[in-house]
Amino acid sequence: MMRFQSLENAFFLALLLLVTAAFLGVVQDFLQPVFWAALLASLFHRLYVRWLPALGGRESLTAALTLLFILLIVILPLILVGLAVTHESALFYQRITSGEIDIQKPIRYVEQTLPAARDFLERLGVDAQRLKDGLSSAAVTGSRFLASQAVNIGQNALRLTVMFFVMLYLLFFFLRDGSRLVESLIHVLPIGDERERRLFAKFAEVSRATLKGTLVVGLVQGVLGGLLFWAVGIEAAVFWGVVMTVLSVLPAVGAGLVWAPAALWMFAAGEPVKGLVIVGFGALVIGLVDNLLRPLLVGRDTKMPDYLILISTLGGLAGLGISGFVIGPIIAALFLVAWEMFVEEFGSHAPATLQDGGENGGDADGGAEEAVAEEP
């Protein structure tokens, strides 16, 4: 009878794993909307809780108003910025292909004003004309890529629209029922309630800090960078400002990937004053924003060092796309807290357990339980 019961349990666990894998396979195309809905619900949960008593405890109405607030304050501005970037990138591509923006100007200036540089290129076997043609081709290719991405977004409009409304639909229920869903997961998952609460708390803490910090730093750097480019007369200042905002997900180096080449361009084009202005403003103002705000908004709340935030962000972006700038740090934070729990609960008992050869297994378990009970 015992063997039959064990066999039943084994088959049930196998069935549980099978249907779980099948369910994840069915919904895999919608995992990103699920993630972003959960992330936004976590970010605005405090607002929902604050509004709930004022609205007489009506959960559905409070969730609907919170959702409307998110649409107006977060999502609608992002859509408008996306439309502006699409327009600017297409216009930038047209200006390059029509010759309105002279890509070869910096090389011609270097050839005319710095004969030593021309001689140096000749000694290296570099053909200046070929270099100019290559630079023009690279600029056209890059701008064409940006324009094609905008076209691809338009072609995938139906899919993106479906994903968007799925996210909004889920966001409503996550706002309204999020606390109950989390409690259900804590009850079901076989990890231990205290551990699960700690992991869920870390998920909410890191996701809020990462999204909030990245958005604030990105917006500030993008606005400052766009104004800087507009002031020195660089074409498509709005577009480059948004590019800085997007690249600001990379700590320390993000915005510099835009303003540093722009400064070199100005120096090569015979505009040293503008080049110095870009370098000075970029390093002292835009860079200072990253160095001051990011540790305050991200590092302090996540309790992770900057280098770990950087590599987890880069790894997340490389493996998971745009969502990776949040998922990467979340995984890194969960990794740290899981190992912290392991050390707290089992680190001091592992040598004794190994030394006893398993004879005092009950004592080791009791010690682990005491470690859990002593957690704040």
State the Cα–Cα distance between residues 203 and 330, nearest whole angstrom.
6
State the Cα–Cα distance between residues 254 and 291, nearest whole angstrom.
12
Best CA proximity match to 290, nearest among 254, 242, 332: 254
Q: Is 253 helix (H, G, I), strand (E, B) or coil?
A: coil
Q: Are 66 and 171 in contact (CB under 8 A)?
A: no
pTM of the model: 0.66
318-322 long-range CB contacts below 8 Å, 24 or more apart?
Answer: none
State the Cα–Cα distance between residues 334 and 284, nearest whole angstrom.
34
Mean pLDDT, residues 306-322: 81
Q: Is the pLDDT score of 27 beyond 80?
A: yes
34-92 confidence digits (pLDDT tens): 888 988 888 888 899 999 998 888 899 999 999 999 999 888 887 887 777 777 777 77
252 or 136, higher pLDDT? 252
Q: Is the pLDDT score of 359 beyond 50?
A: no
Best CA proximity match to 259, nearest among 277, 243, 233, 278: 278
Whole-number pLDDT of residue 317? 82
Q: What percent of the chain has pLDDT over 90?
A: 7
Best CA proximity match to 254, nearest among 239, 272, 241: 241
Q: Are 263 and 275 in contact (CB under 8 A)?
A: yes
Q: What is the DSSP letter of 298?
A: I
Least confident of 243-247, 251-255, 285-289: 251-255
Mean pLDDT, residues 177-189: 82
Mean pLDDT, residues 293-312: 73
Whole-number pLDDT of residue 159? 78
105-163 confidence digits (pLDDT tens): 655 655 555 455 555 555 655 555 565 555 556 555 655 555 555 555 555 667 778 88
Mean pLDDT, residues 303-329: 80
Mean pLDDT of the chain: 75
Q: Check residue 150 and give left, alpha or beta (phi > 0: left; psi -120 to 50: alpha).
A: alpha
Band of residue 188 on the pLDDT scale cut at 50, 70, 90: confident
State the Cα–Cα distance between residues 81 and 88, nearest whole angstrom.
10
Q: What is the DSSP letter of 322?
A: G
Whole-number pLDDT of residue 338? 83
Q: Which residue has the tokens 């290129």?
A: 121
349 or 30, higher pLDDT? 30
Q: Are 326 and 207 in contact (CB under 8 A)?
A: yes
State the Cα–Cα distance between residues 376 and 371, nearest whole angstrom.
10
Q: Please work out, in degrees rounded to the nearest 5, the angle formed at the alpha carbon of residue 248 by the alpha carbons of 244 and 253.
A: 100
CA-CA-CA-CA dihedral for 307, 311, 313, 314, to nearest 10 = 140
Q: Check residue 5 and give left, alpha or beta (phi > 0: left; psi -120 to 50: alpha).
A: alpha
